A and B are shown apart, each in its own frame.
Chain A
Amino acid sequence: MSHDTITPVVTEAGRAKPPTMTRKRAGRRRPWGTYAVRVALVVVWLGSWELAARTVIDPFYYSMPSKVWQRLVDWFTEGTSQGSIWTNIAATLEEAVLGFVIGTLAGVVLGVVLGRSRFIADVLAPFIKGANAIPRIVLASLFVIWFGLGMSSKVATAFVLVFFAVFFNSFQGAREVDRVLVDNSRILGASRWQLMRSVILPSATSWILASMHVAFGFALIGAIVGEFTGADKGLGLLINHAQGNFDAAGIYAGMLITTVLALVAEWLITQLEVRLTSWRPPSHTASAGV
């Protein structure tokens, strides 16, 4: 029990864990109690929903857990009205991942370049502020006109949402690089490119990674909203179709699948973060304790 709380301190000599991991460790202090209460909460929540839908509220509008479960089973065993569920998941995932990857790359490159070049940043500042103020989700409609019902319009929607989230963080990250680190590397003979690779990018990494957590959520939203606007397959289409049929259970089922995708992606990004920031001290409180 108590040894879990001191683990970050003990391991500091070996592998450093970034703050997120330490927080999780602290959360696992009394594992069984925590898990039991969590399960109990879910049971109470789903149970009361099921009970209410069977007695007071109208399951036609609000559906109920058993119906949602049945819909999920149907989708995975017999397929959906729009074909195999896997095809639909794959379509949405592909759009989201493409938008995420392209948006992240563009955001990092432009953010770092602007963060390091005062002049370009000054020139572009009002345009970027303006572009950020546009309700970007509306662009999904425009993209359908431009790129048609296929995959590219959804990728474009995911891209614009991801780009700005990552851009602003990497811009900030590139600006906040410790001056002394830059000077020291310059004295040691770093060229512009070496400075970028060994000092500025690693320094901005924490900022960029922080934005990537949010950004994948945005990519999924972009893909699904894009499919809402017009598509021939995808989870957004399934949800839209369910809405058209007053099928509340279908909407819940689509939501649930999307949530699972987002959680898996979140887990993967956390793994990446752990890998890239292994140099970081365990956490401020833990290192102060050392």
Chain B
Amino acid sequence: MTQIHSTGSRPAISLNGATKRFGTKDGTPFTAIRDVTLDVAAGEFVSIVGPTGCGKSTTLSLVSGLEPASEGTVEVAGQPVTGIPDGVGYMFQADAVLPWKNVLDNVALGLRYRGVARRDADERARAWIQRVGLAGFEDRYPHQLSGGMRKRVAMAQSLITEPSVLLLDEPFGALDVQTRELMQDELLGLWSGTGAACVFVTHDLTEAITLADRVVVMTAGPATVKDIVSVDLPRPRSAEEIRLTPDFIELYKRIWDSLREEVEITRARGASRVA
């Protein structure tokens, strides 16, 4: 084990041989991910792509401390993960904003949990609501907002705690294409300059490349790291324009070649299960 103590080179997230098995009803353990080794530096944006249901999200559960690893080590900011580490933000695929709190209270939630005084928390929440473009909607309840607006609330809710590690589990999966691109730009804008390490799980390869510095390709379940591709596209990026550039298309082809095999394996399994 080489431990580097200079803060500059210490990875924000470090997975080493991480494996996660779940117990199932019939007693045979189900392996979601096996032997995943991956480092993410501070300020780096990593996308994880893989076939549907391969266990990509489990990786995030391990990093966030929501689930303990069965084997291997998981570290955040050099500390082994036991419980939920400090400075971790998480955006879920499903709506996770509290339906009984209005936008202001939802955004202020993380600060209130951490004991920030109401007035101070509200003030900072208002600033964040402004930043995600929801000014004027402070006292609306989530059900009165559109899906895209709820995602903006969720984004402000995660980012207000100023996480040094931001985990995103297909957060825009349920949105229509136009809204999704808008949200991708929004996310990049809010993230740039924060120095947070981002891990973005998606099955949409275009989305993965648009956002990331590196794209990690996972195998069909049980998932492990198959390929890591660097994305050397210039920032700031615009989701709408970047996907038409030749470099982007080149990258897309390369990663898709790698991903396609895994998708086909998953499909074949699905077909055999049906038959």
Contacts and interface: CB of A to CB of B under 8 A. Distances in A.
A185 B109 contact: yes
A199 B97 CA distance: 10
A17 to B, nearest CB: 12
A16 B96 CA distance: 20
A202 B100 contact: yes
A12 B144 contact: yes
B98 to A, nearest CB: 6
Contact of B113 (A178, A189, A202): A189
A184 B96 contact: yes
A277 B101 CA distance: 11
B100 A186 contact: no
Contact of A279 (B88, B99, B113): B99
B92 interface: yes
A183 B66 contact: yes
Contacts of B98: 181, 185, 198-199, 202
B64 A187 contact: yes
Contact of A191 (B64, B94, B113): B113
Interface residues of A, number: 26
B100, B140, B161 — which one has the most chain A CB atoms within 10 A of its CB? Answer: B100
A70 interface: no
A34 interface: no
Given A16-B143, A185-B113, A191-B113, A279 B100 contact: yes
A180 B113 contact: no
A245 to B, nearest CB: 53
A154 to B, nearest CB: 36
Q: How large is the interface on B (under 10, 10 to 19, 20 to 34, 35 or more residues)?
A: 20 to 34
B130 to A, nearest CB: 20
Nearest to A190: B113
Nearest to B110: A188
Pick from B84, B88, B89 the residue with the most CB of A within 10 Å.
Answer: B84
A189 B100 contact: no
B157 interface: yes
B141 A279 contact: yes
Interface in B63-100: 64, 66, 84, 88-90, 92, 94-100
A183 B161 CA distance: 16
B92 A180 contact: yes
A262 B110 CA distance: 43
B92 A186 contact: no
Nearest to A199: B98
B70 to A, nearest CB: 19
Contacts of A189: 84, 110, 113-114, 161
Nearest to B154: A184
Interface in A256-282: 277, 279-281
Interface string A186-212: 111111001000110011010000000
- Enumerate the 6 nearest inter-chain pairs by beta-carbon distance, A residue then B residue, closest first: A184-B96, A188-B110, A189-B113, A281-B143, A279-B100, A187-B90
21 contacts: A12-B144, A16-B144, A183-B90, A183-B92, A184-B97, A185-B98, A186-B66, A187-B66, A187-B88, A187-B89, A189-B84, A189-B113, A190-B113, A191-B113, A194-B113, A198-B98, A198-B109, A279-B99, A279-B141, A280-B99, A281-B144
Interface of A: 12-13, 16, 178, 180-181, 183-191, 194, 198-199, 202-203, 205, 277, 279-281, 287
